[in-house]
Amino acid sequence: MSVNYGSKRVVTGAHYGARDWLAQRITAALMALFTIVLLGKVLFTSGPLGYDSWAAIFAAQWMKALTFAVFIALAYHAWVGVRDIWMDYVKPAGLRLVLHVFTLVWLLACLGWAVQVLWRL
């Protein structure tokens, strides 16, 4: 009887683990920072909160850039999470591919809509 010392295991897969874990933490931190900034601007805005107040909050170029970065971060954050769900729980490869494509198209459509709304402000 032979004894196997060491690992002869073949590691396969996409190896997304650590990189995507870190990406989700970074995107979550960016979204939390944006939420704090937005809350601060809303709380310290004088007068009633209407369309003009919201437009004034997003009028500054840095706020538009931060909002755009948050939209991108949110889309990537959602993609990583939903992709992991599909990879973990949907076993037929064809169905998983369809769900991945649907998710990407949906996220890109949402991102396009959000950018369009941001540019109108």
Torsion sign across C-alpha atoms 99, 101, 103, 105:
negative
Mean pLDDT, rounded, of the chain: 88
Contact criterion met (CB below 8 Å) for 25 and 77: no
pTM of the model: 0.79
Q: Stretch 33-62: mean pLDDT, rounded?
A: 90
First to last CA, the chain: 75
Position 32 scores a pLDDT of 97
* pLDDT one-digit tens code per residue, 31-41: 999 999 999 99
Using alpha carbons, list the distances in angstroms from residue 36 to 31, 64, 65, 82, 113. Answer: 9, 15, 16, 26, 23
Position 48 scores a pLDDT of 86
* pLDDT one-digit tens code per residue, 75-99: 999 999 999 999 999 999 999 999 9
Distance CA 103, CA 92 (A): 16
Lowest mean pLDDT among 5-19, 56-70, 105-119: 5-19
Residue 18 clears pLDDT 60, i.e. is over it: yes
